[in-house]
Amino acid sequence: MSQVVFITGATSGFGRACAYRFAQAGWSLVLTGRRQERLESLKEELGRRVPVHIAALDVRDSEAVKAVVEALPADFRPITALINNAGLALAPEPSQQVALEDWHTMIDTNVTGLVNVTHALLPSLTETGEGATIVNLGSVAGQWPYPGSHVYGASKAFVQQFSYNLRCDLLGTGIRVTDVAPGLSESEFTLVRNRGDQAAYDKLYGDTTPLQPEDIAEQIFHVATLPAHVNINRLEVMPTRQAWSPFAVDRD
């Protein structure tokens, strides 16, 4: 049976790097994200190596999530690994200055979106009877408080506890669940959080050595390809030049 990975947020950062890493190992790919043109160019490139199915998807829309899962071609079922990666941070300012809409968008994406996809895919994940892996993208922000993290960090604390609780319910099914919690990592995440401010991006990453999306993709691949009897519950990964919060970073 071929291995199939379903990735949310495959159009950028960790999700995109995962698409390359799993393709390198010969897995079939289901790639989702909102930006259709990026999905198409991934399909064009990676489709030369492995079977690729793409679907434009906003994870906040539970009906759209269900429709994408129901329309999965037979060759892409059952799913053997789900990478719940789509997510974002918004509004780096203090809570008292944040627009309520930004808090809602983070909850709708990082919490409700992740729950939508998990709920829709659990039947397919249990279909193999041979075990499968769910990797949920948490964050150090789910564990360690810092100014401007407010709802973002809280949404990632949800991801951690939901991952642990899922494990309880899935005990005996052979499905393992891991909360992968990265620290400072260079990606479009920081542009999104700072509303496209390139100077903020350069300031955060320019004089230190952040993780790269490929570093995290390697960890996710590792978690998903361990022997079936091994489950990593939570994997927190930081750059060597970071200790705990994004404010404890060694800079030149």
Ligand X SMILES: O=CCS(=O)(=O)O
Ligand Y SMILES: NC(=O)C1=CN([C@@H]2O[C@H](COP(=O)(O)OP(=O)(O)OC[C@H]3O[C@@H](n4cnc5c(N)ncnc54)[C@H](OP(=O)(O)O)[C@@H]3O)[C@@H](O)[C@H]2O)C=CC1
Give me the residues that bind ligand Y (CB under 6 A), please. 8-9, 11-15, 33-35, 57-60, 85-88, 109, 113, 137, 139, 182, 184-185, 187-189, 192, 213
Q: From ligand Y, ligand X, none, which one binds at residue 195 (CB under 5 to 8 Å depending on kind)?
A: none
Binding test (CB under 6 A) with ligand X, winner from 13, 33, 113, 183: 183
Cβ-based nearer residue to ligand Y, 142 or 176: 142
Reduce the DSSP state of residue 222 to 3 states and report it: helix
Tokens of 109: 């994406």
List the x/- string, 128-157, binding to ligand X by CB under 6 A.
-----------xxx----------------
Question: Helix 13-24 to helix 36-46 angle, to the nearest 10 degrees?
Answer: 20
d(CA 177, CA 81): 10
Reduce the DSSP state of residue 227 to 3 states and report it: coil
d(CA 190, CA 182): 14
**Active-site residue, selected from the candidate residues 152, 164, 201, 205:** 152
Give phi and psi for 80, each to the nearest 5: -105, -15
Interface with ligand X: number of residues (CB under 6 A):
6
Instruction: Judge whether 86 and 109 are in contact, CB under 8 Å.
Output: yes
Q: From ligand Y, ligand X, none, which one binds at residue 246 (CB under 5 to 8 Å depending on kind)?
A: ligand X
- Spell out a b/e string for 3-13, using b for 16 or more CB atoms within 10 Å of the CB, else e: bbbbbbbbbbb
Q: From ligand X, ligand Y, none, which one binds at residue 142 (CB under 5 to 8 Å depending on kind)?
A: none
Neighbours of 131 (CB within 10 A): 14
Measured from the CB of residue 141, what is the shortest distance to ligand X in angstroms? Answer: 3
| 20 a catalytic residue | no
Cβ-based nearer residue to ligand X, 20 or 244: 244
Measured from the CB of residue 140, what is the shortest distance to ligand X in angstroms? Answer: 5
Catalytic residue set: 152
- Residues making contact with ligand X (CB under 6 A): 139-141, 183-184, 246
